[in-house]
Copies of this chain bind each other. A is one copy, B any other.
Amino acid sequence: MTAAKRAIADALVASAIDLAADELTRRVQSTRPEISPSTVYRVLDEFEELAIVEHAHLGHGATVYHLAGVPHGHLVCTGCGLSFEVPAELFDPLARDLLERYGFTLDRHHVAVAGLCERCRARDQDRRADPSH
């Protein structure tokens, strides 16, 4: 294994949450500034083929990556942009339904659904109740 791969793997292990390639590159470069973004993308691709890493698409934002082995879905708030990781089992009933009705096999660790978090929901309702709009 090469130095670049080592550094990228380390950064992935060290981070608790999903990271965009962008952010991952920044972290890797804090130790090894010579490692280029393209290498990060290439290594991530390779890691994915080896099933070491998985990615998900969070709305319009950049693709995020995380170590495989901790399956989880994502809730993305369209109000504030924050995203939350939730256990993959939450999607099991849906997965069963999709398989039965459409023959579609849901990829649970790749799921990101949009909506409003509690806070943004509340703010939205206030706005609707408020006459000034």
| A interface list, Cβ under 8 A from B | 57, 59-60, 63, 75, 77-78, 84, 86, 90-91, 93-94, 97-98, 101-107, 110-111, 113-118, 121
Q: B106 contacts A113, CB within 8 Å? A: yes
Contacts A57-B60, A94-B93, A102-B86 hold; do A114 and B110 have CB atoms under 8 A apart?
Answer: yes
Chain B CB within 10 A, most for which of A59, A91, A111, A113? A113
Chain B residues closer than 8 Å to A107, beta-carbon distance: 78, 113-116
Enumerate chain B residues within 8 angstroms of A78, measured Cβ to Cβ: 107, 110
* A81 CB → nearest B CB, Å: 13
User: Which of chain B's residues have a CB closer than 8 A to the CB of A105?
Assistant: 115-116, 121
| Interface residues of A, dominant DSSP | mixed
Q: List 12 A-B contacts (CB under 8 A).
A: A78-B110, A84-B102, A93-B97, A94-B113, A98-B113, A103-B117, A104-B116, A104-B117, A107-B114, A107-B115, A110-B113, A110-B114
